[in-house]
Structure 1
Amino acid sequence: MRHFLTLRDYTKEEILEILTLAAKIKKETKNRVYKDYLPRYTLGMIFEKSSTRTRVSFETGIYQLGGIGLFLSSNDIQLGRGEPMSDTARVISRMVDMVMIRTFEQTKLEEFAKYSKVPVINGLTDEYHPVQLMADYLTIQEAGLENNLIAAYVGDGNNMAHSWLMLASKLGFELRIATPKGYEVDEKILNDALSFAKESGAKIVITNDPKEAVKGATVVTTDTWVSMGQEDEKEKRVKDFNGYIVDDEMMKLGASNAIFLHCLPAYRGYEVSQSVIEGKQSLIFEEAENRLHAQKGVMVWLDRQNKK
Structure 2
Amino acid sequence: MNAPLSFLKEVDFSKEELLELIDLSLHFKQLKKEKTPHHYLEGLNIALIFEKTSTRTRSAFTVAGQDLGMQVTYLGSDEIQLGRKESVADTAKVLGSMFDGIEYRGFKQEDVETLARYAGVPVWNGLTDTWHPTQMIADFMTLKEVFGSLEGLHIAYVGDGRNNVAHSLLVTAAILGVNITIIAPASLQPEKEIVALAEQHNNGALIKITDELEAVEGADMLYTDVWVSMGEEIDFKERIDLLLPYQINAELLAKTGKTNTVVMHCLPAFHDRKTEIGLSLYEKYGLAELEITDDIFQKHSPIIFQEAENRLHSIKAIMYYSLKEG
Q: TM-score, normalised by structure 2?
A: 0.90
Q: CA deviation at 1:190?
A: 0.7
Q: Deviations over 1:243-295 (max 9, x none)?
A: 01000111122232211110000011111000111004751100000000010
Q: Deviations over 1:51-75 (max 9, x none)?
A: 1111111101100111121110121
Match of 2:6 among 3, 11, 28: 3
Q: Which residue of 2 aligns with 1:205?
A: 208
Q: Which residue of 1 aligns with 2:294?
A: 274
Q: Which residue of 2 aligns with 1:147?
A: 151
Q: Is the 8 A contact 1:53 1:288 kept in 2?
A: yes
Q: Is the 8 A contact 1:258 1:281 kept in 2?
A: no
Match of 1:178 among 175, 183, 191: 183
* Percent identity between the two aligned chains: 39
Unaligned runs of 5+ in 2: 272-288
After TM superposition, the structure 1 = structure 2 runs for residues 208-247 of structure 1, keeping only pairs within 5 Å, are 208-212=211-215, 214-230=216-232, 232-247=234-249
After TM superposition, the structure 1 = structure 2 runs for residues 36-55 of structure 1, keeping only pairs within 5 Å, are 36-55=39-58
Q: CA deviation at 1:82?
A: 3.0
Equivalent position amino acid for 2:314 in 1 = A
After TM superposition, the structure 1 = structure 2 runs for residues 35-184 of structure 1, keeping only pairs within 5 Å, are 35-79=38-82, 81-144=84-147, 146-157=150-161, 158-184=163-189
Q: Is the 8 A contact 1:177 1:205 kept in 2?
A: yes
- In 2, distance between residues paired with 1:102 and 1:280? 28
Equivalent position amino acid for 2:138 in 1 = A
Q: Is the 8 A contact 1:259 1:282 kept in 2?
A: no
Q: Which residue of 2 aligns with 1:188?
A: 193
- In 2, distance between residues paired with 1:215 and 1:237? 25
Describe the SS at the equivalent of 2:97.
coil
Q: How many matched pairs? A: 303
Describe the SS at the equivalent of 1:148.
coil
- In 2, distance between residues paired with 1:288 and 1:242? 25
Q: Is the 8 A contact 1:5 1:122 kept in 2?
A: yes
Q: TM-score, normalised by structure 1?
A: 0.95
Q: Which residue of 2 aligns with 1:23?
A: 26
Q: Is the 8 A contact 1:226 1:233 kept in 2?
A: no
Q: Is the 8 A contact 1:276 1:282 kept in 2?
A: no
Q: Is the 8 A contact 2:263 2:300 kept in 1?
A: no
Q: Is the 8 A contact 1:19 1:138 kept in 2?
A: yes
Equivalent position amino acid for 1:164 in 2 = L
- In 1, distance between residues paired with 2:123 and 2:64? 16
- In 2, distance between residues paired with 1:281 and 1:112? 36
- In 2, distance between residues paired with 1:42 and 1:162? 31
- TM-align CA RMSD: 1.4
Unaligned runs of 5+ in 1: none
Q: Deviations over 1:151-179 (max 9, x none)?
A: 00001121111101111111111000011
